[in-house]
Structure 1
Amino acid sequence: MADPILTVSDLRAGYGATEILRGLSMSVAPGEIVAVLGSNGVGKTTLNMVLSGVVKAASGSISFLGEDVTNHAPGDIVSRGLVHVPEGRKIFPNMTVRDNLVLGSYRRGKAARAANLDKVFATFPRLRERISQLAGTLSGGEQQMLAIGRGLMAEPKLLILDEPSLGLSPLLVEEMFTLVRRINADGLAVMLVEQNVVQSLEVASRAFILENGVFALQGKASDLAASDELRKAYLGM
């Protein structure tokens, strides 16, 4: 495996006196999809926020592209190419589709903004059709496309997708995971943070199962998909 672009070592973090992440270590290699899986409340969003600089690490380290970025400011982390598409989309509802996308290049990607817009519209033709529409009037699936497209406008080296299938219909969930594959096919590394265990393991090369702030299981996605322990814990089988 190539040298990781992201390395997390013994990461601990929380809120006040409450420790949420209890010594996590993981990595993401160039061009791979890594899934971080677990139910609500196990620390997935906290991990994303620490990686993005929004929540400070209590201890441990985060290395991105060979440089220590532990507790760097969020703007600096985005400028380096680590881009987080948050849970719940967090689009600007009273702004147009185009303006939401342009905001994605505020910190990174300004020079190629026009070309990147064309790339996003090639990936999401529906967004081109709705370019002047207010983002708040889009469907849930279209809003998720917009959130991901906004992340792509920053020319990420690593794209963290936090619960991209949340709240979508089964048909749109299938479409979303197909989209993750398509984005990754261009060589973009993706960290997929999800509750949807089955489909995430189908698209990922490796996976980490988060339980109560620790990785209870980790390994090749295909091995975890066949794991009796995982099937009993998450699939009820």
Structure 2
Amino acid sequence: MLEVRDLRTGYGGVEVLRGIDLSVAHGEIVAVLGANGVGKTTLNKALSGLLPLASGSITFDGRALGGSPIAAVEAGLIHVPEGRKIFPNMSVQENLELGSYRRGRAGRARNLERVYDTFPKLRQRMTQMAGTLSGGEQQMLAIGRGMMAEPKLLILDEPSLGLSPLLVEEMFDLVKRLNADGLPIMLVEQNVVQSLEIAHRGYIIENGLVTMSGSAAEIAADPDLKRAYLGL
């Protein structure tokens, strides 16, 4: 579904990604893991067309992408950014409707019902200003807005960031449910343990390079990862 080969990009003259290779197949949850500052958000921006590629290629659903956020969205590659990036002075429903501005407009009413069925709290707050929601509700809204675009692949950038432990559990359960309904998900996270518990495969990024990849079980059992991330 998604094939990334020798991807290099950065900011100004600074190269952040130094030759990334990764893929996501139909039906998978793929975890992309690493600490702050290793290039995870830069990768998401490159995949979404927000950063030009210095070299390499991005192929999504059989077509070449790179450098055009409009082309990425129209192809069905939908990115829920780190920090939610909702519109605080607009209502919950207005935020959701904006998710179908470029893609999914014909199915807007049907998709709204699907989002409200997935997140009953958003139905209760549909006329409320988005900026007055709790952190967990804002994350629901950001994911719901992504669902409105009828994604073929959903990229979730740090969805557990800033949430309480209970809401983190709910967020990972939600990712599993969306995937069980057939949606491929690329889960970009610092939360290594819980991400590998629900993912099919994973990649570890360090200093702009993939340093480890394989099945989630293989990565979770790797002694180097346990030392680096879990202190074991």
Task: Give yes or no for TM over 0.5.
Answer: yes
How far apart, in 2, do the equivalents of 1:16 and 1:141 lie?
A: 35
Deviation at 1:217, TM superposition (A): 0.6
Aligned to 1:201, which of 196, 201, 206?
Answer: 196
1:38 match: 34
- Once the two structures are superposed, residues 42-73 of structure 1 have per-residue CA deviations (whole angstroms, 9 ceiling, x without a partner) of 000000000000011100000001111122x1
Aligned match of 1:14: 10
CA RMSD of aligned residues (A): 0.5
1:67 matches 2:72? no
Deviations 1:167-195 (Å, cap 9, x if unpaired)?
00000000000000011111000000000
Aligned to 2:187: 192
CA distance in 1, matches of 2:134, 2:65: 36
SS at match of 1:164: coil
2:169 is matched with 174
- Alpha-carbon deviation of 1:76? 1.5
Does residue 111 (structure 1) correspond to residue 132 (structure 2)? The answer is no
- 1:4-58 CA distance string (max 9 Å, x none): x100000000011100000001100011000000000000000000000001110
Distance 2:78 2:24 in 1: 14
Distance in 1 of aligned mates of 2:192 and 2:44:
18
Q: After TM superposition, give the deviation of residue 225 of structure 1 in Å.
A: 0.6
Where does residue 83 of structure 2 map in the other structure?
88
TM-score of the pair, normalised by structure 2: 0.99
Amino acid at match of 2:227: K
Which whole-Å deviations, capped at 9, do the CAs of 1:132-152 have from their partners, x for residues lacking one? 000000000000000000000
CA distance in 1, matches of 2:94, 2:202: 35
User: Structure 1: which 5+ residue stretches go unaligned?
Assistant: none
Unaligned runs of 5+ in 2: none
Q: CA deviation at 1:94?
A: 0.4
